[in-house]
Amino acid sequence: MPKMKTRRAVAKRISVTASGKVKIKKANLRHILTKKKQKNKVSARKAGYLNAKDGQNMLKAAPYVK
């Protein structure tokens, strides 16, 4: 059976934790930060985790990401 192709866009945006959760970077921290609330900017610094089903879908798109 041939190797599966990895969607590189997905592979660059996710990482998998030791417990198997899919970790992502949160959005809304790139530009026009002056009008955004400090609370939103602080919470966007922390890592985000996908729910189980979305995580499974991302791992299908990037099967070799560990």
Domain regions of the chain by residue span: 8-61
Average pLDDT score over residue span 37-57: 97
Q: Distances in Å between the alpha carbon of 64 and those of 10, 33, 37, 43? A: 11, 35, 38, 29
| Gap between the terminal Cα atoms of the chain | 21
With a threshold of 0.75, does the pTM exceed it? yes
Task: State the Cα–Cα distance between residues 35 and 51, nearest whole angstrom.
Answer: 29
Asked whether the predicted pLDDT for residue 66 surpasses 90, the reply is no
Under CATH, what is the fold of the domain 8-61?
Factor Xa Inhibitor (4.10.410)
What rounded mean pLDDT belongs to the chain?
Answer: 96
CB of 17 closer than 8 Å to CB of 24: no
